[in-house]
Amino acid sequence: MAEITKDFTGQTVICTFEMTPATAMELMEALKAAYTDCISKSEGFIGAGLHMNDAHTRIATYSKWQKRGDYQAMLRSPEMITRNRHIATLCRSFEPVMYEVAADF
């Protein structure tokens, strides 16, 4: 489980996906497979969570990495390039954004 703490010095990434209810479950399964088969095995991966809203129109992922470069290297891997091309066909948009934890409560 990924713990959220202000003193975390690695890289936090939150990615949001917008889709229709018709593709929501297929997209979630594609994301689960990507995390199981590739992302979680990447160097520097610490942990992640996947979340879907009640309307099945948005998915948010939260992941933690030891370093920004670890996350970027995973994205550049041939396997993730192929997976992301498929994922892009299942959603209207997706946007990964790198964050620093500003506070925890």
Domain CATH for 44: 3.30.70.100
Tokens of 92: 């209207």
Render pLDDT for 62-83 as a digit per residue (tens, 0 to 9). 999 999 999 999 999 999 999 9
What range defines the domain where residue 42 resides? 11-99
* Whether residue 92 has pLDDT greater than 90: yes
Whole-angstrom CA distances from 95 to 5, 7, 71, 92 are 23, 25, 14, 10
- Tell me the per-residue pLDDT of 22-42, one tens digit each, with 9 for 90 and over: 999 999 999 999 999 999 999
- Total structural domains in the chain? 1
| This prediction's pTM | 0.93
Answer yes or no: is 3 within a domain: no
On whether residue 23 sits in a domain, the answer given is: yes
Flag whether 2 is in a domain: no
3-class secondary structure for 15-54?
A: EEEECCHHHHHHHHHHHHHHHHHCHHHCCCEEEEEEEECC
Q: How confident is the model at residue 1 (pLDDT cuts 50, 70, 90)?
A: low
| Burial class (CB within 10 angstroms; exposed 0-12, middle 13-18, buried 19+) of 97 | exposed
Identify whether 1 is part of a domain: no
Residue 39 lies in a domain: yes
The reply to whether 40 falls in a domain is yes
